[in-house]
Amino acid sequence: MSAIDTFWEFFAVAVGLLVVLGGLAATLLRGRGGATRELPREQPGRPAPGAPADERDTDADRGDRDDRGSSVDTLPAPTDDTTLEETLPPVTVPEVERPEAPQTRLQRLRARLARSNTALGQGLLALLSRGDLDEQAWEDVEDTLLTADLGVEATTQLVDSLRTRVRVHGNADEATVRGWLREELVALVDPAMDRTVVSSRVDGRPAVILVVGVNGTGKTTTVGKLARVLVAEDKDVVLGAADTFRAAAADQLQTWGARVGVPTVRSDREGADPAAVAFDAVKGAAELEADVVIIDTAGRLHNKVGLMDELGKVKRVIEKQSPIDEVLLVLDATTGQNGLRQAEVFSEVVGITGIVLTKLDGTAKGGIVVAVQRKLGVPVKLIGLGEGPDDLAPFDPEGFVDAIID
């Protein structure tokens, strides 16, 4: 036998021994409960090894994945002593607030109004009760009324009425003068005006309220507070964030709504078409069978023609889907007579149906209530007297007059 033949016989024997030994080892491992090794499995979101380079994700694509390559959080597996529910993280449910009832807030706001409008009430009482009113005294009465933003026409009417009473009845004590003043002021504020805010379904559809005004009057805050008023009256409300130009306006409105469990329709894109957002809000309210939808709009100066035209477009687009039941103009009471020109322009563009007077607690110019009603021929429907979430209430003419002369 040659050396080559010997080598191949030896090699065959060696291979055979290795096969036998490998089989024995596998048998022993299975007997001890061992597991054979598996090939690495393809992970979610990752290509299999050897996939083309353009199928592999980059570091940016993996952004928030954990070290296991998953883009979602995983929960620990329950042990024998726990249930799946016990392994779930606690869920925090935001607490929905119950707004203060309008009747309650009226009592609180009346006291605050009495403290802030002493010029119109107490100032007049002091002048009229001193007796022997000469021309200088009546001029002081007129000045007090004009300072309180009552307006020239209303001031003249009130002074003439008071002069007549004094001529007929002579000088009177403070209680009598207070009664005269109350009667005349209530007549000027005009309690016969309808101050109801339409907030119930109309002809099987949600009522639509459009809120407008110049920059800085507090429109978005007013919309949020109005939602609280209506929720306190058990109304189903939807908010529309059509102020798409002011940074974080939609976030602000959504926060107001979330506090009382009210949904907000909004666009996630800053600068989106406000008319489209308003249209979607009205449509969404109809689908939800809500009682009322309130549309917040961007503040705009009354002398900017382009912006006022845009507001007119918002109104027209809404009306393609639903009539608008209320157009509320938010006015800052501290602007006094300057706010009247604003009111005129807004009324020409969108047809104002009611006024919301904010910041009445920051001024002694309560006469603006009379002036704006006379100018527009529409009522003050809501007043704001503070920073609190429930510092907005329906306007009560007699309660307003009582507050400023008590």
pLDDT tens across 43-102, in order?
A: 343 344 334 433 333 333 333 333 333 323 333 444 555 444 444 444 444 577 777 776
Which residues participate in the annotated binding site? 213-220, 296-300, 358-361
Is residue 103 very low, low, confident or very high in pLDDT (cuts 50, 70, 90)? low
**H or E, element range at 274:** helix 274-287
The reported pLDDT for the residue numbered 316 is 94
Indicate the annotated binding residues for GTP. 213-220, 296-300, 358-361
Average of per-residue pLDDT across 155-173? 84
Q: Residue ranges of the domains in the chain?
A: 102-189, 207-396
**In contact, 250 and 243? CB cutoff 8 Å:** yes
pLDDT of residue 301: 67
Check residue 119 and give its pLDDT.
56
Fold of 102-189: Four Helix Bundle (Hemerythrin (Met), subunit A) (1.20.120)
Residue 124 has pLDDT above 60, yes or no: yes
Strand partners, 383: 357, 393
Q: What is the pLDDT of residue 139?
A: 87
Vertex 87, ends 86 and 88: CA angle to 5°? 95
Confidence (pLDDT) at 405? 76
Contact 211, 295 (CB under 8 A): yes
Question: What pLDDT shows up at residue 118?
Answer: 55
Radius of gyration of the chain (CA): 37
Phi, psi of 329 (to 5 degrees): -95, 125
Find how far residue 117's CA is from the centre of its chain: 29
Read off the pLDDT of each residue in 166-172 and give the average, rounded to a whole number: 77
Q: Does an H or E element contain 248, and which?
A: none
C-beta of residue 389 within 8 angstroms of C-beta of residue 258: no
For the chain, helix (H) and strand (E) counts, in that order, are 14, 8
> CA 250, 254, 256, 258: dihedral to nearest 10 degrees?
180
| pLDDT bucket at 131, cuts 50 / 70 / 90 | low
Class of domain 207-396: alpha beta
What was the pLDDT predicted at 308? 84
Are the beta carbons of 382 and 226 closer than 8 angstroms?
A: yes
Is the pLDDT confidence value at 172 over 50? yes
pLDDT band at 2 (very low <50, low <70, confident <90, very high): low
**Confidence class of residue 144 from pLDDT cuts 50, 70 and 90?**
confident
At 268, is the secondary structure helix, strand, or coil? coil
Please give the pLDDT value at position 64. Answer: 36
3-state secondary structure at position 1: coil
Q: What whole-number distance in Å separates Cα of residue 355 and Cα of residue 384? A: 11
**Is the distance from CB of 328 to CB of 381 less than 8 angstroms?**
yes
pLDDT tens track for 325-384: 999 999 888 776 677 777 888 888 889 999 998 887 655 567 788 888 988 889 999 988
Work out whether strand 326-332 and strand 354-358 pair parallel, antiparallel, or are unpaired: parallel
